[in-house]
Amino acid sequence: MTEQTISINSEQSEHESIDALVERANRALQETGINITVAKTDVYKNNGAIQGLTLRDEDHNCCPTVYNIEELASMSDSDLAAHIENMFNRTAMNIPIDEQLMDRDYILNNVRARVWSDSNLPGIEANDIAYVPEPSGLDLVTTFIVPVKDFNDGTASYTLKFKHLQTLDLGIHEVFEAAKRHIDEDEIYLKSMYETLKDMMGENVPIPEDAPDCMWVLTNSTKLYGAALLLSETVLENASKTLGSDYLIVGSSVHELLLIRKDESSGMAPDSIRQIIADVNDTQVDPVDILSYSLYQYSPEDGLQIAA
């Protein structure tokens, strides 16, 4: 069953366990005549698994999983039932399985890559998730999602598993190459840090004429899972031309990369950057968004490597 994430909040209420919440929600739904059931679900995410609640009925094959446990636990029985019904009616749907979920051409034409730290491998393998180790020998691993088209309120996708590939006689490297082609087809976002701040804060942000351009932001047009751009030699080589230099790469999250010109203009030593990566990951980045604690480097001659 394909599941859509509504929101993320893995903290449980101090006053009610998730099992008690499931029991109360199902009782409230039954008493109000709402034909929806709630079940606790362990969902594998980047850097671990979190618990959510999957909402189901007998009429839909695409049902939502929600993670705002603490918010739901704070509601009265009547408000809880009404809230669940509203979320379900907005997001549950029927997907044409033969056309989207289990169709070779649809998968190859729409598959997208997700790049994670290879520390996720035990969880990835335990959940039968289809993956490819980073071919350059880096500490990264690639998994794959397939977007669901014509979703009525937001976005939804499903994670490819090896059992899907086996059923469709799809090779993992065939899927990998298709996902890389889609990276090169998509629009990318590559701007200096000053330009990025201007995009975020508006045109009134003053940029000094002599502002250094040693640090750049690289992601995709949606700014979601932009670290997958590491898989594209074309993107990395074009970035080198734009920066006019070889560069260091900081995975600020699974969504975005920071490129630092590898010359004297940055004034930043690799060891200092590694310490910043560790400090930011440990204190500022949500665990599900952490890419890696490593520092990478790129040059057209040597390709993508872990920085020395």
Highest mean pLDDT among 42-56, 207-221, 273-287: 273-287
- 265, pLDDT greater than 70: no
* pLDDT beyond 70 at 48: yes
Tell me the pLDDT tens digit for each residue of 140-176.
999 999 987 765 555 678 899 999 999 999 999 999 9
pLDDT tens digits, 82-117: 999 999 998 888 877 666 677 899 999 999 999 999
Q: Rounded CA gap, 243 and 74, in Å?
A: 51
What pTM, to 2 d.p., does this model score? 0.78
Cα separations in angstroms, 273 against 217, 276, 296: 16, 5, 11
- Phi/psi at 167 (5° precision): -60, -40
Band (pLDDT 50/70/90 cuts) for residue 11 is: very low
Instruction: Compute the distance between CA of residue 220 and CA of residue 201 in angstroms, rounded to an integer.
Output: 19
**The pLDDT of residue 79 is above 90:** yes
What is the C-alpha separation between 253 and 76, in angstroms, rounded?
37
Consecutive H or E run containing 83: helix 77-91
Average pLDDT of the residues of the chain:
86
Residue 228 predicted with pLDDT over 60: yes
Q: Of 40-44, 63-67, 108-112, 222-226, which range is least confident?
A: 40-44
CA-wise closest residue to 292 among 261, 249, 229, 236: 249
